[in-house]
Amino acid sequence: MPRPAGSARAPTTPKGRGGEDEAALFLEGRGLTVFARNVRVGGGEIDLVAGDGGTVVFVEVKWRRDASRGAPAEAVTPLKRRRLLSAARAWLAENPSGARREVRFDVVAIEGDAGTIDWIRGAFDAT
């Protein structure tokens, strides 16, 4: 697959960078191929764009120190989902080879410095 369009941007915090690095390694260890990180496109940002066989996977990564502010996955609000959907549509429009594939939206939630990882495959639909 060609290199994705869109400009890359580093996360704003070291923990964010570490969480995305950890998530990328986790997913690659399970057979996914990470194509891009921190892609800003269509007015939004996609943390990771990956391939899982014939499927393009858009991944939202959430890291929390602990559960005192809720589980990391709870931070993926309906507004965040809409923004991710918009960014994914823009990415697919700029990457026609990806547009011909199935699409999935996953969340990788990382909690604590120990890095407890919860991978939510198909966390939400593109509707």
Question: Looking at 20-112, which runs of residues are DSSP E strands?
Answer: 33-41, 44-52, 55-64, 102-111
| Cα four-point dihedral sign 51, 53, 59, 65 | negative
Report the Cα 96 to chain-centroid distance in Å.
Answer: 19
Whether residue 2 lies inside any domain: the answer is no
In a domain, 57, yes or no: yes
Per-residue pLDDT of the chain (127 residues; tens, 9 = 90+): 343 443 333 333 434 457 899 999 999 999 999 999 999 998 889 999 999 999 999 999 987 665 656 555 666 788 888 999 999 999 999 988 767 789 999 999 887 766 689 899 998 887 6
Q: Is residue 55 part of a domain?
A: yes
Q: How many domains does the chain have?
A: 1
Provide the CATH number for the domain around residue 13. Answer: 3.40.1350.10
pLDDT for position 10: 36
Residues spanned by the domain of 111:
7-124
According to the model, what pLDDT value does residue 6 have? 39
Do the Cβ atoms of 68 and 75 come closer than 8 Å? no
Taking alpha carbons only, the member of 33, 35, 16 closest to residue 91 is 35
The pLDDT of residue 114:
63
